[in-house]
């Protein structure tokens, strides 16, 4: 069944949560690269039978590109960057690529789970502290550069952007010493690709 469904699709399909940080990251990549892709929003409270045919975990994001099915957001983003290399979201040289992958690994291990925990329970003080302290710690970066890895927008920024967008709804207010992070967030939000990536639910998070 999965092969039949995948084969009949003529364009990419991304199964996405309406308010899923990592799904949002994938949608930003799609917009940055102007990729023709059908986005199918799924409700986590319901079972999407078609998604279940592709993904044994029935989770978003899941990308279907003809006979290829990917359901890890970090793999999806790298695949999209390699499949459509312009504009590039990863450096060309191996040292810089390794540094970017290491940063993404740190985000995955140290930031994403606390962030998901806070989305489930806004009173989770421990998770909120991890996120707030993390942004305070990286704030000095933006005194010298516009983006997380330097002067070029990258796959690291693709992950930070959805997190920063959700901070107000999660009752996280960054202190004055992290003002540069707020300014960084505004740079990300001003990008047309970011605006075009927002679902209706995500726009509502900030009253858009």
pLDDT in tens, 28-45: 999 999 999 999 998 766
What pLDDT is stored for residue 161 in this prediction?
98
- pTM given for the model: 0.92
**Mean pLDDT, residues 151-161 taken together:** 98
**Integer CA distances (angstroms), 171 to 124, 165, 199, in order:** 11, 12, 21
Give yes or no for a contact between 13 and 40, defined as CB atoms under 8 angstroms apart.
Answer: yes
Residues of the chain with CATH 1.20.1050.10: 94-191
Residues of the chain with CATH 3.40.30.10: 2-83
Residue 139 has pLDDT above 50, yes or no: yes
What pLDDT is stored for residue 42 in this prediction?
87
CATH number (1.20.1050.10, 3.40.190.10, 3.40.309.10, 3.40.50.720) of 94-191 reads 1.20.1050.10
Residue 9 has pLDDT above 60, yes or no: no
The per-residue pLDDT for range 81-128, each reduced to its tens digit, is 999 989 999 999 999 999 999 999 999 999 999 999 999 999 999 999
The CATH superfamily label for domain 2-83 reads: Glutaredoxin (3.40.30.10)
Q: What percent of the chain is modeled with pLDDT above 70? A: 92
- Is residue 140 very low, low, confident or very high in pLDDT (cuts 50, 70, 90)? very high
How far apart are alpha carbons 65 and 158 in whole angstroms? 21
Buried b (16+ CB within 10 A) or exposed e, 128-159: bebbbebbeebbebbeeeebbbbebbbbbbbb
């Amino acid at each position: 069944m999965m092969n039949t469904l995948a084969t009949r699709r003529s364009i990419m399909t991304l199964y996405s949560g309406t308010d899923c940080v990592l799904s949002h990251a994938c949608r930003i990549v799609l917009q940055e690269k102007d990729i023709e892709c059908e986005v199918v929003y799924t409700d986590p409270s319901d079972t999407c039978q078609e998604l279940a045919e592709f993904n044994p975990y029935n989770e978003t994001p899941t990308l279907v590109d003809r006979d290829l099915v990917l359901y890890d957001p970090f793999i999806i983003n790298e695949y999209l960057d390699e499949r459509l290399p312009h504009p590039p979201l990863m450096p060309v040289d191996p040292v810089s690529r390794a540094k970017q992958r290491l940063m993404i690994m740190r985000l995955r291990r140290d930031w994403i789970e606390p962030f998901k925990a806070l989305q489930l329970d806004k009173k989770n003080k421990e998770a909120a502290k991890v996120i707030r302290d993390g942004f305070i710690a990286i704030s000095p970066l933006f005194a010298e550069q516009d983006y997380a890895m330097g002067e070029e927008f990258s796959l690291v920024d693709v992950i930070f952007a959805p997190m920063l967008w959700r901070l107000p709804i999660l009752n996280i207010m960054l202190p004055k010493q992290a003002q540069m992070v707020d300014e960084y967030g505004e740079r990300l939000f001003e990008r047309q690709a970011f605006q075009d990536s927002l679902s209706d639910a995500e726009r509502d998070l900030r009253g858009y």
